């Protein structure tokens, strides 16, 4: 007799076959496009890791050959002499606080906009969504002056002005809020209203319903958008370049440190250390995505199915 798990696998296999038959030639083309995309993404990453353990003569002499010996001193030189360790720590701190603030304020704003009806609700939602239409490059000059003016605020100005991690965190939060609110508001609308109403009947406050009931129910969507925010803020270069000058080099983030390796010495740059630094920047994001891959897919699928 076929077990229940076997029946499920058979039904899934039959469903895949039906989809392939329905799509016809498009199925093969889609698989070919995925293979091409995988090669375009994977090959540069693998080459970067390979170049990080090669000498400069090997990089420019035989770029695709294996190294004669693994030059781990490239990683040590990038970590110590190029101060990549300090820049990575700065990135971890800024991204951690930036992501936390984004998810806290974004989830609260999305929940209110999705679950409560009040005058101006739609206008506020569209105002958030309109932030997706403006590239960050258009706002760099206004952002610079806004953060500069925040530096004159009594008592806390030195912590949120130019050349400060606090100012960078606030800009990261503002920059990430539009997509977070757009994504989570759609997700919160799919949650059952009966659960919240039952909690209100039992005497729960609005904040308690949100933090203890609705937020855990929205966990798939929360995890998905959190990972997207981590990736986006970790790879950000243009905003730190404008808000953190050379005088605050001890506060630079990882992307600035990597760019500094390639530009500090002109044509005499330390290319081996540069590729080692790039590998250090790539590895944490690969680990994060690998660990939370299923949660990301589950969150996106749940939102789509609901």
DSSP string covering 189-236:
HTS-HHHHHHHHHTT--HHHIIIIIIHHHTHHHHHHHHHHHHHHHHT-
Q: Mean per-residue pLDDT for 82-100?
A: 93
Q: Residue 298 pLDDT > 80, yes or no?
A: no
Q: Residue 305 pLDDT > 60, yes or no?
A: no
pTM score: 0.83
Measured CA to CA in angstroms, residue 233 lies from 91, 98, 175 at distances of 9, 8, 9
Q: Mean per-residue pLDDT for 42-67?
A: 88
Q: Mean per-residue pLDDT for 283-306?
A: 71
pLDDT digits (tens, 9 = 90+) for 167-226: 999 999 999 999 999 999 988 988 888 888 898 888 889 899 999 999 998 888 898 899
* Confidence at 82, pLDDT banded by 50, 70, 90: confident
Averaged pLDDT of the chain = 85
**In this predicted structure, what is the pLDDT of residue 21?**
59
Look up tokens 């949650």; give the residue: 191
Q: Residue 125 pLDDT > 60, yes or no?
A: yes
**In this predicted structure, what is the pLDDT of residue 185?**
92
Q: Mean per-residue pLDDT for 12-23?
A: 60
Measured CA to CA in angstroms, residue 181 lies from 33, 111, 116 at distances of 32, 9, 14
**In this predicted structure, what is the pLDDT of residue 6?**
53
Q: Residue 2 pLDDT > 60, yes or no?
A: no
**In this predicted structure, what is the pLDDT of residue 304?**
47
* Confidence at 136, pLDDT banded by 50, 70, 90: confident
Q: Mean per-residue pLDDT for 135-157?
A: 89
Which domains, ranges and CATH numbers included, belong to the chain? Answer: 92-305 (1.10.3720.10)
pLDDT digits (tens, 9 = 90+) for 101-112: 999 999 999 999
């Amino acid at each position: 007799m076929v077990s229940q798990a076997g029946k499920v696998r058979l039904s899934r296999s039959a469903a895949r076959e039906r989809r392939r038959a329905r799509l016809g030639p498009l199925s093969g083309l889609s698989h070919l496009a995925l293979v091409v995309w995988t090669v375009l993404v994977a090959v540069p990453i693998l080459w970067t890791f390979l170049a990080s353990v090669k000498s400069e003569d090997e990089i420019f002499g035989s770029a695709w050959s294996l190294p004669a010996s693994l030059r781990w001193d490239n990683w040590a030189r990038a970590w110590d002499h190029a101060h990549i360790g300090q820049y990575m720590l700065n990135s971890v701190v800024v991204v951690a606080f930036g992501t936390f603030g984004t998810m806290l304020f974004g989830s609260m704003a999305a929940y209110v906009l999705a679950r409560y009806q009040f005058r101006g609700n739609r206008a506020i939602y569209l105002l958030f969504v309109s932030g997706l239409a403006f590239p960050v490059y258009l706002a760099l000059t206004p952002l610079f002056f806004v953060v500069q003016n925040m530096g004159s605020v009594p008592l806390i100005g030195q912590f949120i002005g130019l050349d400060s991690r606090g100012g960078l965190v606030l800009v990261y939060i503002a920059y990430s809020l539009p997509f977070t609110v757009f994504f989570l508001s759609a997700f919160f609308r799919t949650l059952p209203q009966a659960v919240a109403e039952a909690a209100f009947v039992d005497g729960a406050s609005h904040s308690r319903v949100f933090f203890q009931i609705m937020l855990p129910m929205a966990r798939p969507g929360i995890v998905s958008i959190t990972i997207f925010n981590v990736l986006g803020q970790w790879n950000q270069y243009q905003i730190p370049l404008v808000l953190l000058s050379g005088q605050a080099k001890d506060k630079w983030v990882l992307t600035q440190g990597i760019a500094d390796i390639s530009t500090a010495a002109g044509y005499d740059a330390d290319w081996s250390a540069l590729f080692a630094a790039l590998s250090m920047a790539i590895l944490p994001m690969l680990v994060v995505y690998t660990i939370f891959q299923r949660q990301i897919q589950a969150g996106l699928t749940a939102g789509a199915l609901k």
